[in-house]
Structure 1
Amino acid sequence: MEQQGQPEKKEKKSLALNVVSNKQHKGFGAGTIDLSQVSCVIIDAGVAYIDDGAMHAKSKVERGIKFSPNREDTPNGRQCWIVWVAVERGENGTNYAGATACEMWIDTEARRGWKILADHVNKLDHAIKRRYNLGELGAEEKAAFRKLLIEHNEEWWTNSSDELKQALEA
C-alpha cells in the first residue's frame, strides 16, 4: 500500500549472469550464448582456483588492472591463465565437456596487464562448443588445473573424456 505523496517503489533488476547454476540463462541476450554451464578457472603461480568474476574481467587478478593489447606494456608481469570450463550432463553423468586456456600477463604493482580480448572470446566460444585447447599450458599449470578439476568433483572428472585427461598429462 502506497503512503500518500510517496511514489511506488519499483524493484530494480540487475543485469548479471548466473554463470554456474542448474538454471538456464534468461533475460537480456538469452538465446545467443548459453553461459549457464560455463565456469572460469584462474591459474596463477601454479595455483588453480575457480573465479567466475573472470567472465566479466573481474577476477581477483584482473581487478584494478588496466589491460593493453601490447605485450611490451607489461614488461614486469607474471603469466596467468584463464581456463574456460564447460560442464554438461551426458549419458554417463555430468562431465567436464570443454576447456580452453587463455594467456594473460599481470603486473599487480604497476596495475598493468596484457591480454588479447578477441582470443579470450574465441576460446570461451570453443569451450562452449565442447572443445579442449590446453596445449599452451605448462606442466605446472596442467597439474594444478587437473588437481582442481578432480578435487572439485571427482565423479565429473571420471565421466570426462579421455581427450581431456590426456591433454592434462604432464
Structure 2
Amino acid sequence: MSTEDNKNQKRSNAFTIMKDDSTDGHGGYGVGSISLENISPVIIDPNEKRAFVDMGAMHARSEVERRVKFIKDKEEVPNGLLYWIVWVTVERGENGPYYHGVAGSEIRVDRSIKRAYKSMPEHVTHMDKSMKGQYIVEHMDDESKELLGDFLREFDPVMWENAADELKEALPSK
C-alpha cells in the first residue's frame, strides 16, 4: 500500500457518531455496560504538526504507541517526544451531531530506546470524562491545543458549530 493510500485510509476512520444501543430495554446480556461506539481517539503530534484519528489507540495500538514498551515513570523517558491522545466523544443533539466531550492524555515516546511513558489511570479517567461531556484540555501546550482545535473545526464544521462555547473557548483559533 502506498503512503498516499495509507493516508487516505486513515482519513476514512471518521468519528463514530451513534449506533444502535444494545441496552435498549431488553434487560439481557450487556445491560449496564459502557458503550464506546461514540468515542474516537485523535492523535496530536506537535513534532510533525499534525492531528489525525487513529482507532488503534482504543487498544493502545496507535501509530505512536506501536513498537515501544510503556513505563509508568515519566523520568525514565527524559528525551521522549510529546504526543497527545485526545478522547473525543460525539453525541447527537437537537441541532444535529456535536463534539460532546474532549479530553487529552499525554504520551512521551523515545524511539531510540524503545520506551514510552503514559499514565493508564489518566487515560481511563480522561476517556470517562470525555464520555460524560467534559472538556479537559487546559493542561495541553498551546501548539497542541491549536492543532486539535483546527482539526476539529476542519473535520466537521457542523459538529464544531453545534459544540458548546466552553470547547470553542478552550480551543481558540489563531
Q: TM-score, normalised by structure 1?
A: 0.83
Task: Point out the structure with max Rg over C-alpha.
Answer: 1
Partner of 1:13: none
8 Å CA contact 1:25, 1:36 repeated in 2 = no
Partner of 1:35: 36
- CA 1:159–1:78 in 2, change beyond 3 Å: closer, same or farther? same
Partner of 2:116: 113
How far the C-alpha of 1:25 sits from its partner, in A, is: 6.7
Partner of 1:15: none
Task: Find the partner of 2:107 among 91, 104, 108.
Answer: 104
Q: Give 1:148's aligned amino acid.
A: F
Q: Does 1:20 align with 2:23?
A: no
Cα deviation code 1:100-150 (max 9, x no counterpart): 010110012221000110010001000011110000111111111011111
User: Secondary structure of the equivalent of 1:99?
Assistant: strand
How far the C-alpha of 1:29 sits from its partner, in A, is: 5.6
User: Matches of residues 78-89 of structure 1 in structure 2 within 5 Å?
Assistant: 78-89=81-92
Partner of 2:157: 154
For 2:20 and 2:41, the matched residues in 1 are separated by 17
8 Å CA contact 1:42, 1:51 repeated in 2 = yes
Give the aligned length: 152
For 1:104 and 1:82, the matched residues in 2 are separated by 7
Q: Structure 2 unaligned runs (5+)?
A: 1-14, 24-28
User: Secondary structure of the equivalent of 2:112?
Assistant: coil
Q: Which segments of structure 1 move beyond 3 Å, counting only runs of 4 or more?
A: 24-31
Partner of 2:75: 72
Partner of 2:7: none
For 1:30 and 1:71, the matched residues in 2 are separated by 38
Q: Structure 1 unaligned runs (5+)?
A: 1-18
8 Å CA contact 2:17, 2:90 repeated in 1 = no
Partner of 1:3: none
How far the C-alpha of 1:37 sits from its partner, in A, is: 0.3
For 1:30 and 1:168, the matched residues in 2 are separated by 36
8 Å CA contact 2:17, 2:91 repeated in 1 = no
Q: Give 2:33's aligned amino acid.
A: T
Partner of 2:128: 125
